[in-house]
Amino acid sequence: MDIDWRKRNVPIHIRAILSLTLLSAVYIVIIWPLRVTITSEYIYPKFVQHAEENGVPIINNQRRLDIQPAGYDTPRGFGIPFGGYFWLPLALFITARNKDAALGLTGYHIFLCIGPPYLGILFIRGYSWAGTLLQVNEMLFLGVFMFALFFGSKNIYEEWKKYSS
C-alpha cells in the first residue's frame, strides 16, 4: 500500500475554522483546567511559602501571580504560560502551515515556564532588579502575542489571496 505524505489541499477557510475550533475545544476542555490545577496546587503554594518567609504578599488568580512587596505601588508578577496568548497564534500558525513560527512560539512559552517564576522568587527575596525584569517580560509577552497575531493573520491572508485568485 502506498501512502501519500504530501499535504492535502484543504481550502484555507476550512483549515482556519477547523484549527480555531479544535484548538479552542482542546484549550477549554483540557488545558485551562490543567493550568488552573497546576497554578493553584503547585505554583501558588511554593510562592506563598517563599513569600511568607520574606513577609511579601502574593496575589493569585487563575491566569497570573502578582507579588506586592512593601514600597511598590503596583504588583509585579507573571502570567502562567500556555494560555490563550499561546493557543490563538498557534491556531493561526497551524492554519498557515508555518511550522517554524509554531515551534518558535512554543519555545518562547517553554522559556516562560522557567524564566519569570525564577525572577519572581528573586523579587520576593528582595532583588528589585528582578521586579523590573518582570515588568519588561510583561511588555515583551504582549509584544510577542501581538506580533504573532499579525504574522499569523498575514500568512493566512496571503494564502487566502492565492486560493481565491
Domain spans of the chain? Answer: 12-164
Looking at residue 69, its pLDDT comes to 87
Can you read off the three cell numbers belonging to residue 77?
508578577
Sign of CA dihedral 35, 121, 104, 79: positive
Residue pLDDT, tens place only, 30-53: 999 999 999 889 999 999 999 999
Looking at residue 6, its pLDDT comes to 55
143 bridge partner residues: none
Torsion of CA 88, 5, 14, 22, to 10 degrees: -40
Residue pLDDT, tens place only, 94-138: 999 999 999 999 999 999 999 999 999 999 999 999 999 999 999
Can you read off the three cell numbers belonging to residue 55?
513577609
How much is the average pLDDT of 67-96? 92
Instruction: Give the 3-state secondary structure of residue 7.
Output: coil
Average model confidence (pLDDT) for the chain?
91
How much is the average pLDDT of 70-91? 91
How much is the average pLDDT of 81-88? 94
How much is the average pLDDT of 50-71? 88
> Under a CB-based contact definition with an 8 Å cutoff, are residues 56 and 71 in contact?
no
The reported pTM is 0.87
- Rounded distance, CA 1 to CA 24, Å? 35
Terminal C-alpha separation, the chain: 36
Lowest-confidence range among 4-8, 55-59, 132-136, 151-155? Answer: 4-8
